[in-house]
Structure 1
Amino acid sequence: MKFTLLNSFLIFFLSIHSITAQNVVTVDSAGVAKENNSSFSVDTSVAKDTIKPFKRFKAEGVASVIGEYVIVEFDIDLSYIELKEQGVAIDEISRCQMLGKLMEDKLYAHHAKLDSLLVPDAEINGRIDQQIQYMVSELGSEEKVAEYYRKESISELRQQLFEVNKTLALATEMQQKITEEVEITPEEVREFFYKIPEDERPIFGAEVEVSQIVIEPQVTKKAEQEVIDRLNEIRAEVVEGGASFATRAVLYSKDGSASKGGLIPGIKRNSPYAKEFKDMAFSLLEGEVSEPFETSFGWHILYVDKIRGQEVDVRHIILFPQVSQSTIDEAKSKVETIRQQIVDGNISFEDAAKTYSDEKETRNNGGKLVNPVTGDTKFDLTKMDPTLGAQVYNLKKGEVSKVYTDRDYTGKSVFKILTVVNRYDEHPADYVKDYEKIQELALKEKKIRAIEKWQDKKIKETYVHVNEDYKDCEFSSNWVKQ
């Protein structure tokens, strides 16, 4: 099947995430899934086969072979279970379409291995730990999880999860390699846009640009020293007393890694962690425990678990200084005074943000927020963070919100005021006003074409066998090599 320009970009980079409810939708290149929050629709009627979900097949019957990978009927059944857990309407997805997506993943993974692309086992095991934790929270125990997925033990399930996650990780690496050098020129963007019939051009939803001022209760030197002293006590228990760092992390650390003994695997020098954290990780020897040190996230001690070439597995314990009620009251009073000065016209919101805001990321930009998804300053009102959206939904342009309390990543209360800098109503795509969005769509469409071209070439070069039960499927790719 050939993609339409409007539909193709929606399908790019969507993939199956195994046995865990994550924020993804599963599609194969036949366009199986729908993007619920989009103004566009995806045609899901591309495979006209009559094979329906959950038709009884021999459990371990081979559906297809791609290079060194074998896809059995159970893999397809398991994919339906995963989709159902994610709330996807599986009745609209045929076994042909599901098999098509699985074959794509195996093709990517097969050639990722041939090209020596690597995914650290520690990274895969970290994902599996999170998946098992989620499944246990949903089903109650590891035994029930193993039973639900028809495995003799949780160890057997872990092994299958490892294989599936490794395949998906390799597939992702291969896709990124295929598209990493794909670029788009202004002329290509222009051609992409004007090829779309005027009545079929995308509709962009209502958007806002928002600025904020953040005032944080100040941490006293006394509270800070108490945290340092506590971390030194824990460090002494490990270094001098022989206590387990992992156990101490479970007991005392205040972030999500605590349940894994503080483990953070596969840190590289370009990993998205605080510079101070990475510097410490790469300055220690294996088995060494750091002195307490500070990042923007809190105070840490760090233990180097394993050094693997240019990657380091570490464990850490993070604590946050306590904030007194008096400093909380002082911060609230300060932000209320700032708000009143803005409302009275004594200072602009932008100048107040530059002068008073405690948020470094937005202060120098006059408090203006950057959309982490798009990289620009516009937020789609239907997709923005619910807490933020609730505060600005009814604000007029230039109006200042009431003071409200939020919590930062440490759980500490902070006080905020917001203003709407600009509002943009829902509108058909405009080449000038929406150039960045159109450029993004054009680039995604070009990347899809690059992947299609790569697929066509590699299918011809790769051993592919499709079971007779699926020979009549109308796959989007030439899997049966007709």
Structure 2
Amino acid sequence: MTGVLAVLLALTGTVPAVAQDNVIDEVVWVVGDEAILKSDVENERLNAQYEGRRFDGDPYCVIPEELAVQKLFLHQAEIDSIEVSDQEVLQQVETRISWLTEQIGSKEKLEEYYNKTSTQIREMLRENIRDGLTVQEMQKKIVGDIKLTPAEVRNYFSKLPQDSIPFVPTQVEVQIITREPKIKEEEIERVKKELRDFTDRINKGETTFSTLARMYSEDPGSARRGGEYGFTGRGELTPEFANVVFNLTDPKKISKVFETEYGYHIAQLIEKRGDRVSYRHILIKPRVDEKEIEAELNKLDTLANDIRKGKVTFDEAATWVSQDKDTRNNHGLLANPQTSTSRFEMQQLAGLISQEVAKTVEGMQIGEVSKPFTMINAKGKEVCAIVKLKNRIDGHKATISEDYQRLKDIVTANRSEEKLQKWIVEKQKNTYVRINPSWRKCDFKYPGWIK
């Protein structure tokens, strides 16, 4: 049902006769000139069911109110010209599709569950995810930059009852040294030849770039879309990749084979818009010979023994031996991107860095250096590594001295929520809202909906 028809139904209880045969939904709320349909609520309920979310109240009250609040933010975002990138939306859509398919069991079961085709599911998710990202950006603008002094943080927690002070799970600080096994020249030539063969097949009209990307590309994020990314800025790409795709001018031509830290690629231009480019690519990663892996593991084993004997420190070895460019200039110390500190909860270490690192660290003592092991790094490459447990902070009640940043984040989040709630209440006052009578019997979080 179109937005116009939905609003007509909400306001008059009927739609034009020519459209009545197509009415299969029900308008439950109208916020401004935007309708919230019963199907919108059902889709959100289904998503929540698979995510294991529990509602604090009746889902048929909580969900439409959440959607109504979202409409308020989206309306303001349109006024303020808030936009999000197509690439970010597409990446999250594919991640979401993969997760749902894995949870439900198969593509066919997913289609059956939603009673939609894969294309329709993607379109639904695309709109939902775009809206969600837009709301996040609008909220950031509303909240602004909240600055807190240490005194404000201390004052906040000094007033909390003891049983309300947050518990901090066990955290670790970890140093790492990684080495990339050498890739044989003949393997590199094999990969380059495979990509050149792809180019020849495309140029001869035997197949399309998209088909080959789906079949052979080792970039899981884009392979499902035929290698395609949405419009991307130069700063969002590695320099080597950007230099190639931003110099493409003819959509009918394929780039030469080129290398990045992820592997080897060919790329094809789709469209340019100002300082952004849309493209598709195929990534092939050279395979590492088992003998080369064994050789690097032996070198790291010798290095670990030298560190244990005091011949060299882990800090020195990380600086001069490690090939992990993100940590070697910091003596191998891993940084937590979520907290901007060097501390990781074990679950974070597994999810953000590597499950192999987390498993290795779990049973180690402070100061201990591990045996060498293999892992997949952030670039998707198999590397050899050793780690040192620099520190472990056992689980405890949060304190200002030990957990200041965590406590500051909590206070910041509370201040942000206060600002957003105040904004919602004010926005309600100046927004037309109509709720279907059968959907009004709710204890709403924001009582200003019904005027």
Question: What is the SS of the residue equivalent to 1:345?
Answer: coil
Give the residue type in structure 2 aligned to 1:478: P
Give the corresponding residue for 2:304: 339
Give the residue type in structure 2 aligned to 1:250: R
Give the corresponding residue for 1:11: none
CA contact (8 A) 1:354 1:364 kept: yes
Counterpart selection for 2:246 from 264, 282, 288: 282
For 1:320 and 1:150, locate their aligned partners in 2 and report how far apart those are by CA, in whole Å. Answer: 38
Q: 1:303 to 1:183 in 2, by over 3 A?
A: farther
Give the residue type in structure 1 aligned to 2:374: T
Give the corresponding residue for 2:382: 413
Counterpart selection for 2:141 from 141, 155, 177: 177
Following superposition, the deviation at residue 409 of structure 1 comes to 5.1
Structure 2 residue 362 is matched with structure 1 residue 390:
no
Q: What stretches of structure 1 of length at least 5 have no aligned partner?
A: 1-57
Q: Percent identity?
A: 31
For 2:385 and 2:124, locate their aligned partners in 1 and report how far apart those are by CA, in whole Å. Answer: 47
Q: 1:92 to 1:337 in 2, by over 3 A?
A: farther
Q: 1:183 to 1:293 in 2, by over 3 A?
A: farther
Give the corresponding residue for 1:238: 202
Counterpart selection for 1:207 from 168, 171, 191: 171
Following superposition, the deviation at residue 187 of structure 1 comes to 4.3
Structure 2 residue 52 is matched with structure 1 residue 83:
no
Q: Deviations over 1:132-159 (max 9, x none)?
A: 55555635445x54443245x5555555
Give the corresponding residue for 2:224: 259
Q: Deviations over 1:297-332 (max 9, x none)?
A: 111111111223333221111122232333222211
Question: What is the SS of the residue equivalent to 1:103?
Answer: helix
Structure 2 residue 375 is matched with structure 1 residue 402:
no
Question: What is the SS of the residue equivalent to 2:47?
Answer: helix
For 2:101 and 2:397, locate their aligned partners in 1 and report how far apart those are by CA, in whole Å. Answer: 46
CA contact (8 A) 2:87 2:229 kept: no
Give the corresponding residue for 2:416: 447
Following superposition, the deviation at residue 237 of structure 1 comes to 3.2
Give the corresponding residue for 2:212: 248
Give the corresponding residue for 1:425: 394
Counterpart selection for 1:292 from 257, 262, 286: 257
Structure 2 residue 93 is matched with structure 1 residue 109:
no
Q: 1:398 to 1:104 in 2, by over 3 A?
A: same
For 1:141 and 1:208, locate their aligned partners in 2 and report how far apart those are by CA, in whole Å. Answer: 39
Counterpart selection for 1:462 from 424, 431, 435: 431
Question: What is the SS of the residue equivalent to 1:384?
Answer: helix
Following superposition, the deviation at residue 106 of structure 1 comes to 1.8
CA contact (8 A) 1:253 1:319 kept: yes
CA contact (8 A) 1:59 1:72 kept: no
Question: What is the SS of the residue equivalent to 1:303?
Answer: strand
For 1:240 and 1:394, locate their aligned partners in 2 and report how far apart those are by CA, in whole Å. Answer: 57
Following superposition, the deviation at residue 415 of structure 1 comes to 1.9
Following superposition, the deviation at residue 426 of structure 1 comes to 1.8
Give the residue type in structure 1 aligned to 2:197: E
For 2:118 and 2:320, locate their aligned partners in 1 and report how far apart those are by CA, in whole Å. Answer: 56
Structure 1 segment 309-388 matched on structure 2, within 5 A: 309-385=274-350, 386-388=355-357
CA contact (8 A) 2:90 2:229 kept: no
Give the residue type in structure 1 aligned to 2:387: L
Q: 1:464 to 1:362 in 2, by over 3 A?
A: same
Give the corresponding residue for 1:118: 83
Q: 1:145 to 1:219 in 2, by over 3 A?
A: closer
For 1:335 and 1:350, locate their aligned partners in 2 and report how far apart those are by CA, in whole Å. Answer: 14
Following superposition, the deviation at residue 420 of structure 1 comes to 0.9
Q: What stretches of structure 2 of length at least 5 have no aligned partner?
A: 1-22
Following superposition, the deviation at residue 398 of structure 1 comes to 0.6
Following superposition, the deviation at residue 241 of structure 1 comes to 5.2
Bigger mean CA offset, 331-340 vs 190-199: 190-199
Following superposition, the deviation at residue 79 of structure 1 comes to 1.9
Give the corresponding residue for 2:273: 308
| Number of equivalences | 422
For 2:87 and 2:308, locate their aligned partners in 1 and report how far apart those are by CA, in whole Å. Answer: 53
Question: What is the SS of the residue equivalent to 1:300?
Answer: strand
Across the aligned residues of Structure 1 and Structure 2, the Cα RMSD in angstroms comes to 2.8
Q: Structure 2-normalised TM-score?
A: 0.84
Question: What is the SS of the residue equivalent to 1:434?
Answer: helix
Q: 1:119 to 1:314 in 2, by over 3 A?
A: same
Give the residue type in structure 1 aligned to 2:312: I
Following superposition, the deviation at residue 211 of structure 1 comes to 0.8
Q: Comparing both structures, which one devotes a greater share of its residues to helix? A: 2
Question: What is the SS of the residue equivalent to 1:368?
Answer: coil
Following superposition, the deviation at residue 174 of structure 1 comes to 1.8
Q: 1:164 to 1:206 in 2, by over 3 A?
A: closer
Give the residue type in structure 2 aligned to 1:458: K
Structure 1 segment 94-173 matched on structure 2, within 5 A: 94-119=59-84, 124=89, 127-128=92-93, 131-132=96-97, 135=100, 138=104, 140-142=106-108, 144-151=109-116, 153-154=117-118, 156-173=120-137
Bigger mean CA offset, 342-351 vs 275-284: 275-284
CA contact (8 A) 2:87 2:232 kept: no
CA contact (8 A) 2:227 2:281 kept: yes
For 1:411 and 1:118, locate their aligned partners in 2 and report how far apart those are by CA, in whole Å. Answer: 30
CA contact (8 A) 1:286 1:306 kept: no
For 1:351 and 1:301, locate their aligned partners in 2 and report how far apart those are by CA, in whole Å. Answer: 39
Give the residue type in structure 2 aligned to 1:165: I
CA contact (8 A) 2:425 2:448 kept: no
For 2:139 and 2:441, locate their aligned partners in 1 and report how far apart those are by CA, in whole Å. Answer: 28
For 1:145 and 1:427, locate their aligned partners in 2 and report how far apart those are by CA, in whole Å. Answer: 42
CA contact (8 A) 2:261 2:379 kept: no
Following superposition, the deviation at residue 162 of structure 1 comes to 4.2
Question: What is the SS of the residue equivalent to 1:270?
Answer: helix
Give the corresponding residue for 2:11: none
For 1:180 and 1:276, locate their aligned partners in 2 and report how far apart those are by CA, in whole Å. Answer: 35
CA contact (8 A) 2:85 2:232 kept: no
